[in-house]
Structure 1
Amino acid sequence: MKKLSFFLVFLTLILIVAACSQQDSENEGGEGGSETEATVGNGEDDGVYMVGIDTTYPPFEFQKDGEYQGIDVELIQAIAEDQGFKIELQPMDFVGIIPALEEGELDMAIAGMSITDERKEILDFSDPYFDAGLALVTTKDDSEIGSLEDMDGKVIAVKSGTTGSKFVGENQEQYGYRIAYFEDSPSMFLEVANGHAQALVEDYPVIAYAITARDLELKAVGERLTDEKYGIAVLKGQQDELLGQINEGLRNLQENGTYDEIVKKYIEN
C-alpha cells in the first residue's frame, strides 16, 4: 500500500512538472509573437514617428545652416510636443512622399500638400492648416502675360507631382501652352528667370515668399488660379489614433496663438 501511494505521488509530481514546462513554452511563444507584431508601425513600436518633408519648398520647408526650418517643420514639431510624441524628419522629393507612405517608410507627411479628392483615395488628411492657391508667375519686366489666355504657344514651368502640375496638365489643351516639368522649385524659378519658360505655376504663399526672400525678378499676375488648402497626411485607414492627435494638437496651437506666431515668422500678413 505504501509503495502504491509513493508511486501515485511520484506520478503526480511528473505530471505537474510536465504541465509547467508546457505552460512556460506557450508563454515564450506568445511573447515572441507579440514582439514580431509590435514591429509593425514606426511610431507605435519605438515612440518615434517618421515624417516626410520636402526641403525645397520654402517658406514651408527648407534647410538653412544644416537645420530644417519653415512653417511645416515648426508646426509638426509643436504638434508633437503638444501631444507628447516624438518625430524624425525624413527629407525627400515631393513625388516620393506618397509612395513612401504606402510602403510604410513614413508615418505621416507635412509638405505643403493640398487636400484633393484624388489624394483622399489613398490618404487621410488632418484638418486644413493653411489656405493656399495656385498663382501664375512671370518675369517682372513681362508686360504681355496677365493670365492663362496669354499663354498660347508659350512654355509653363511646373513642379512634378504637385497640384500645379495636375492643373496645367488638365488645362493645356484649352490654353495651348507647352509644359516643362521640374523636380524642385529653385530650378523652376531659374527656368523662367532665364527666359527658357515664359511663366510658371506655383502655390501663392511659396512664390510670394521666394520673390521677397531671394529678391527674384519675378511677379505673380492675375487672380489665383485655384483655392486650395494644405493638410497633414497619413495612409488611409491606418493611423486613426495618430490623426486624432494631430488634429487635437493643431487645434490647441491655433487656440493658444502658437500657430499664428509660426506663420508670421515666415509670411507677413
Structure 2
Amino acid sequence: MNGKWLTSLSAAVALSLGSTMASAETLSAVTDPSFVPFEMMDQESGEMVGFDMDILQEVAKRAGFDYNLRTMDFNGIIPALQTGNADIALAGITITEEREKIVDFSDPYYDSGLRLLIRASNDNVDELADLEGKKIGTKIGSTSYDYLTANLDDTEGVTPYPGSSDMYMALMSGSVDAVFYDAPNVGYFSRTKGEGKVKTVGPLYEGQQYGIALVDGSEWVDDVNDALAAMKEDGTYKTIYEKWFGKMPEDMGM
C-alpha cells in the first residue's frame, strides 16, 4: 500500500477525531439572578457567580458539554424547560413530585432546610434543644418561625424580626442568643459580613433537596449524575460548598 496514501489517511482520521472531540454539545442553561448566594451578578465583572454557577461549571466540564447561560425570573424556569426553550437549569430548585412530572431532575445536589447561627464565642449550643428558654431571633412569617413555635416547649424567647439583617444585628449585639433561619442564608452571612463574629451549628432542620433540572427525557441526566457523584467523592463538592456557606454539616449525606 502506498506510504503517502497511508500518511494522508492517518492525518485525515486524526483531524476528524480532533474535530469530534473539540465540538462538545452546547446546552442552553438558565438561572434566576437573585437567589444569593446560589446565583448573583458580580457587579465588577458583569458575570453570574455563586454556588450554583460553580456547580454548573464543574458538572459541564465532567459531563462533557458546553453551555450558554441566561437569566430569567424563577417562575419562568420550569416552563422554559417544559417548552424546550432551555435544556438545563440551576436555581436552588426544590425537587417536588409535581415538577418531576414535567421535567427531569438530577440526583439531589444540595440539602436545604433551617439552621442555627450563634456568636463565634458561644461554645454551649450544639442544637435547638440547647436554646430552650433563651432568646432566638427569626423572621416574621417564615417557616423557621413556625418551626420554633411548633417544636420548642418554651417559646417566650422567640423573637420575630421584619428582615434578616435585623436579626443578624440583634445576634451580634447580644440582643438574642441565636438566629434560626434558612440554611443557605445564614451560611452565607457567616462567610461574609459575619465572618469571625458568628458561626453555624447543629444539623439541618425540616430539610428539602435541590436538584439540577433538565428537559424531560434529557440524554444528559446520567452524565450529570455521574459528574455530581464524582465531585462528592473526590472532595470537589465540599470545597465549593465551603467556599459559599462555611463548614459543611456532617449529616448532609454528601
**TM-score, length basis structure 2:** 0.58
Q: Determine which structure has the larger helix proportion and give its number.
A: 1
Instruction: Determine the structure 2 residue equivalent to 1:206.
Output: 185
Deviations 1:17-64 (A, max 9, x none): xxxxxxxxxxxxxxxxxxxxxxxxxxxxx9211112122222221221
Counterpart position of 1:229:
209
Stretches of structure 2 lacking an aligned partner (at least 5 in a row): 1-23, 118-132, 151-161, 170-178, 248-254
Query: Equivalents in 2 of 1:192, 1:201: separation in Å?
Result: 9
1:188-208 CA-partner distances (Å, limit 9, x unpaired): 6469889xxxxx996312333
CA displacement at 1:257 relative to structure 2: 2.4
Q: Which residue of 1 aligns with 2:26?
A: 48
Deviation string 1:148-202 (CA, Å, 9 cap, x unpaired) is xxx9xx9526xxxxxx6xx999x9xx9xxxxxxxxxxxx96469889xxxxx996
Q: Distance in 2 between matches of 1:219 and 1:254?
A: 24
Determine whether 1:67 maps to 2:42. no
CA 1:190–1:83: 2 relative to 1, 3 Å: same
Deviations 1:210-259 (A, max 9, x none): 3542459x999x98652111111113x331x1111111111222223222
- Give the Cα separation in 2 of the matches to 1:188 and 1:96: 26
Do the aligned residues in 2 keep the contact of 1:156 with 1:201 (CA within 8 Å)? no
1:79–1:212 CA distance, 2 compared to 1 (3 A): closer
Cα deviation code 1:111-162 (max 9, x no counterpart): 111212232222221111121114699xxxxx99759xxx9xx9526xxxxx
> Pairwise mapping of residues 111-122 of structure 1 onto structure 2 (< 5 A)?
111-122=91-102
Structure 1 residues 60 and 248: CA distance shift in structure 2, 3 A: same
Q: Is 2:39–2:91's contact at 8 Å kept on the other side of the alignment?
A: yes
1:94 matched to 2:74? The reply is yes
Q: Which amino acid aligns with 1:233?
A: A
Instruction: Tell me what 1:16 maps to.
Output: none
Query: What is aligned with 1:77?
Result: 57
| CA distance in 1: counterparts of 2:246 and 2:32, whole angstroms | 22
RMSD between aligned alpha carbons?
Answer: 4.3
In structure 1, C-alpha distance between the alignment counterparts of 2:168 and 2:238, rounded to whole Å: 33
Query: How far apart, in 2, do the equivalents of 1:155 and 1:252 lie?
Result: 40
For 1:97 and 1:190, the matched residues in 2 are separated by 28
Q: Which structure 2 residues correspond to residues 179-258 of structure 1 after superposition, within 5 A?
A: 189=164, 203-210=182-189, 212-215=191-194, 226-235=206-215, 237-239=216-218, 241-258=219-236
Aligned residues: 196
Q: State which structure, 1 or 2, has the greater radius of gyration over its C-alpha atoms.
A: 1
Q: Is the 8 A contact 2:29 2:88 kept in 1?
A: yes
Q: 1:263 aligns with which of 230, 241, 246?
A: 241
What letter is aligned with 2:182? D
Secondary structure of 1:57's counterpart equals coil
1:41-92 CA deviation, whole Å, 9 max, x = no partner?
A: xxxxx92111121222222212212122112101111111112210112222
Change (3 A) 1:89 1:201: farther
Q: 1:120 to 1:135 in 2, by over 3 A?
A: farther
Structure 1 residue ranges (4+ consecutive) displaced by more than 6 angstroms after TM superposition: 190-194
Paired residue for 1:128? 108
* Pair 1:156–1:259, CA change in 2 (3 A): same
Decide whether the 8 Å contact of 1:53 with 1:61 is kept in 2.
Answer: yes
C-alpha distance in 2 between matches for 1:131 and 1:223: 11
Alignment partner of 2:79: what SS? helix
